[in-house]
Amino acid sequence: MSSNVVPLEAFTTLPDHARLLGLDLGTKTIGLALSDVERQIATPLETIRRVKFSLDAVALLKIAEKHAVAGLIIGLPLNMDGTEGPRVQSTRAFVRNLVPLTNLPIAFWDERLSTMAVTRTLLDADASRAKRAAVVDKMAAAYILQGALDRLMRMPASPDDPA
């Protein structure tokens, strides 16, 4: 793809106190979540209603700039058996189109079961259907981002550091 599409390991070299933005790309919405400056906790941020790519990208990058984001974690909707289907192709196309518009590093994170896990949590909390619909995308983005943050915390900061 491009030099700013990187493995998650590359995020260990980002500046301290820089936030990450997690994305759950849907066909109608983009759920967003933001990390804290220590990159330990993901918090649901907002949901962008998708219009067309150029407008979606402008909105996304404006949010990234507003929050001084240093990198993007994008959920990759693999099939349960690990294969790539049409949704993965759509996600990769979105990233391919986004790459020329930003210098931010972008990493993919396996998002299998993220929406299902969030929906289960909301059902357990007895959230209404309307409430679930309003928050599920940004909560799924937080679930995706939290998985990547947890993995990053277990990685050495540089190749010389012990794991």
Give which of 35, 6, 15, 29 is closest to 145, Cα–Cα.
Answer: 35
What is the pLDDT confidence band of residue 113, given thresholds at 50, 70 and 90? Answer: low
pLDDT of residue 118: 64
- Rounded Cα distance, 34 and 142, in Å: 7
pTM: 0.86
Residues 141-159 pLDDT 10s: 999 999 999 999 998 765 5
pLDDT of residue 130: 62
- Residue pair 31/74 in contact (Cβ under 8 Å)? The answer is no
Q: What is the mean pLDDT of residues 32-58?
A: 96
pLDDT of residue 1: 47
Mean pLDDT of the chain: 87
**Complete DSSP assignment for 77-109:** ---TTS---HHHHHHHHHHHHHGGG--S-EEEE
